[in-house]
Amino acid sequence: MYFSRTKPLLTLLLAYIDIPLVHGREDFEFNAVAATRVLQQWYNQTTGLWQSTGWWNSANCLTVLADLTAIDRQLDIVTGEVWPNTFENAQKFNLKQSRSPNQCETTVCTRDVRIQGQVQIEDANPKGFLNGFYDDEGWWALAWIKVFDLTQGQQYLQAAMDIFDDMATTGYNATCGGIWWDRKQQHNTAIANELFLSVAAHLANRVPEKKDYYVEWAKKQWTWFDESGLINKDNTVNDGLDIKTCKNDGGIIWSYNQGVIVGALVELDKAAPGDSQLISRARDIATGAIKHLSGRDGILHDPREPNLGGDGYQFKGVFMRNLHGLQKVTGDQTYKDFIEKNAQSIWEKAQKDSILGPVWSGPFDKDHTNAATQSSGLDAMVAAAAVQ
């Protein structure tokens, strides 16, 4: 059965019916809605989280829903109920995790403890969205900022501000500078530092009475990051610093590390215009990532696909989301083409029944699908719809 675009989106999302493949570039939004219906089948109303994936991944699920709702406000009929439910209930739950900052150092990532394919959760009653891992906290801060942009709900903005305060007061001043990855001060990773910068820059653009405060933090963090050695000679970002030597650890080049810093620089340029180097550096990193993480067909990959475990399935979507932000301010046709090509490849080669697989060049791999692969692919499709 084929539904016209004027059909209520609640029906599209929740009715268990067959939706035909739509291949035209003008149909990215329609395909994204179909994929969102699948994503929401993993949504747990009781916990406010998405089953089959992790705590921080659920923040990214929330983010992509916000991005799609911003494109088509009809979707608010569904997402308008998700925001308050997740805000109320997700605070009551936390993941029981075996954490390692070095993603996928074995054949299969083991960062999340899993029981029969489901993430085990316990009632940890954390304070808000704080859990002792600063990257996780940063993801939730960015998610609630996106929801605030849609709803103007002050509780969401306040949550992001509270998270930033925790990152700054308990996580900052790592041995090598910047912010620690974890409250136990064991690792200094690129992703935690990028997220800290990004949250500061986003808040600077949304909290006028404290704009100078957040801009100062963001500029200070970017100066450190730029000089830390995390950005290598290929203009790509490695995974972290060796805290014994404070040198680049030579870790794997993951797509999300490229995306978050690109998005952070775009946001900082908006908060403190006048430094032409911010967008220039963002472009260098985006271009470096596309060059080094794409196959000959121009499709984005992360190392060790499809064995990416609890974390890696999320990574490529984060890059595409932030690449869209850079494309929006630069109008770069190369980025637009890259976004569209990847979204089209996902739908034509890595999708079945609107379920999105982990390897965007295909073939479809049902054995490695979950809410993370779904929301990651959805990020690419939403970005493609947004650049039209």
Q: Report CA 283 to chain centroid distance, whole Å.
A: 19
pLDDT at 119: 35
Tell me the C-alpha distance between 137 and 141, whole Å. Answer: 6
255 in Cβ contact with 302 (< 8 Å): yes
pLDDT at 93: 80
CATH 3.40.50.150 fits 9-386, yes or no: no
Hey, where are the domains in the chain?
Answer: 9-386
The tens place of each residue's pLDDT in the chain, 388 residues long, gives: 222 333 344 444 544 334 444 444 458 999 999 999 999 999 999 999 999 999 999 999 999 999 999 999 999 999 999 999 999 999 988 654 445 565 443 333 333 332 233 333 333 334 689 988 999 999 999 999 999 999 999 999 999 999 999 999 999 999 999 999 999 999 999 999 999 999 999 999 999 999 999 999 999 999 999 999 999 999 999 999 999 999 999 999 999 999 999 999 999 999 999 988 999 999 999 999 999 999 999 999 999 999 997 799 999 999 999 999 999 999 999 999 999 999 999 999 999 999 999 999 999 999 999 999 999 999 999 999 999 8
Q: Is 51 left (phi over 0), alpha (psi -120 to 50) or beta?
A: beta
3-class DSSP state of 254: coil
pTM comes to: 0.90
Closest-CA residue to 56 (of 192, 214, 222): 192
Q: What is the DSSP string of 8-58?
A: -HHHHHHS--------SGGGHHHHHHHHHHHHGGGEETTTTEETTS-HHHH
- DSSP annotation of 360 reads T
